[in-house]
């Protein structure tokens, strides 16, 4: 009995340490986000105060100023939001269609140079986006697609396709080939076997790839800041620069816009969290 009691106590102690480690890790991850939210409701005096003021006086002046209130020129938040939404949704849809097709081809077919193509795609994805900003700017300027939705969508599709191919390739590899073979024996075409049998099984995995691609496009700053100039094409991350001046930075306004930028991504993550978890834990299908 003493040994069993000692084992239970040890198990409880390890569980407590596990939860403590998780709590400390999540605190480190969440504190910067919490600080941004608090700063968006603080007066400027409290933001710059030393020592830091944790409990804000709670003012909406930064939000009112951002939308054109409080006697200040507003920031075109709705235009930036529309640009971000258009670019993120369209680039994600195109990247998923191409990535799903490519991932399925790599998972199901054999062709010459298959491994080389796959490694090449992964190496392309490994290049930092900021390293491509100058070459892309020069090429886009000559083509005439600087400061357009099309140019930014093209860049984000190119950045997201390798990742979606890699992710969907792994999902389709875990689906037994016998599924589509059985569907073809029953009279389905190759396309029908994919759409009616294989895609429903891998749907959660494809959804998780789409979520990651959308968040990448939504939060990207380095390339968007180089390739956009006007209100008609700037995205929300680039809109944060509107709060910087030559000698000062409007930290309250910047934090308020950051909160508005975080909210859609946070809501989307909660809505599709079931599919996201299912996709990340996607496993083989047992026959």
Over residues 60-117, the pLDDT tens digits come to 888 888 877 544 556 788 899 999 999 999 999 999 999 998 888 888 888 888 888 8
Phi, psi (rounded to 5 degrees) for 128? -60, 135
Q: Residue 38 — very low, low, confident or very high, per pLDDT cuts 50/70/90?
A: confident
- pLDDT of 50 above 60: yes
Q: What pLDDT is recorded for position 96?
A: 93
Q: Tell me the domain boundaries of the chain.
A: 2-61, 77-280
DSSP reduced 3-state for 244: strand
Q: Which residues of 155-180 are buried (b: 16+ CB within 10 A; e: fewer)?
A: bbbbbbbbbbbbbbbbbbeebeeebb
What six digits make up the tokens of 138?
Answer: 């020069």
Burial of 78 (0-12, 13-18, 19+ CB in 10 A): exposed
Q: What pLDDT is recorded for position 69?
A: 53
| Residues 6+ positions from 102 with CB-CB distance below 8 Å | 121, 161, 164, 165, 168, 169
Q: CA 128, CA 74: separation in Å to the nearest integer?
A: 33
Q: What pLDDT is recorded for position 95?
A: 94
Q: What pLDDT is recorded for position 265?
A: 81
Check: CB of residue 95 under 8 Å from CB of residue 164.
yes
**77-280: what CATH class?**
mainly alpha
Look at the block and give the residue holding tokens 């968007």: 224
The answer to which of 5-9, 37-41, 44-48, 88-92 has the lowest mean pLDDT is 5-9
Q: What pLDDT is recorded for position 270?
A: 79
What angle is formed at CA 198 by the lines to CA 197 and CA 201, rounded to 5 degrees? 95
Q: Residue 287 — very low, low, confident or very high, per pLDDT cuts 50/70/90?
A: very low
Q: Is the dihedral of CA 16, 18, 19, 20 positive or negative?
A: positive
| Residue 134 CA to its chain's centroid (Å) | 23
- pLDDT of 125 above 90: no
Q: CA 155, CA 190: separation in Å to the nearest integer?
A: 32
Q: What is the DSSP letter of 249?
A: B
Secondary structure of the chain: what % helix, strand, coil (to 5)?
75, 0, 25
């Amino acid at each position: 009995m003493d040994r069993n009691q000692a084992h239970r106590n040890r198990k409880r102690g390890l569980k407590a340490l596990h939860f403590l480690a998780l709590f400390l890790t999540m605190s480190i991850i969440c504190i910067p986000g919490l600080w941004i939210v608090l700063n968006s409701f603080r007066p400027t005096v409290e933001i710059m105060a030393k020592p830091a003021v944790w409990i804000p006086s709670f003012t909406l002046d930064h939000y009112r100023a951002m939308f054109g209130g409080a006697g200040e020129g507003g920031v075109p938040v709705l235009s930036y939001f529309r640009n971000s939404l258009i670019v993120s949704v369209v680039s994600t849809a195109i990247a998923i269609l191409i990535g799903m097709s490519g991932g399925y081809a790599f998972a199901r077919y054999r062709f010459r140079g298959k491994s080389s193509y796959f490694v090449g795609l992964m190496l392309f994805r490994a290049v930092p986006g900021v390293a491509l900003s100058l070459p892309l700017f020069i090429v886009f300027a000559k083509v005439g697609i600087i400061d357009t939705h099309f140019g930014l969508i093209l860049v984000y599709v190119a950045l997201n396709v390798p990742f979606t191919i890699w992710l969907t390739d792994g999902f389709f590899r875990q689906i037994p080939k016998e599924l589509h073979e059985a569907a073809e024996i029953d009279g389905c075409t190759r396309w029908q076997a994919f759409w009616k049998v294989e895609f429903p099984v891998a749907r959660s995995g494809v959804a998780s790839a789409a979520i990651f691609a959308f968040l990448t496009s939504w939060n990207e700053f380095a390339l968007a800041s180089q390739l956009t100039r006007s209100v008609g094409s700037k995205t929300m991350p680039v809109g944060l620069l509107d709060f910087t001046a030559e000698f000062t930075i409007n930290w309250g306004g910047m934090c308020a816009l950051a909160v508005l930028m975080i909210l859609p991504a946070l809501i989307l993550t909660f809505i599709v969290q079931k599919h996201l978890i299912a996709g990340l834990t996607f496993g083989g299908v047992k026959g």
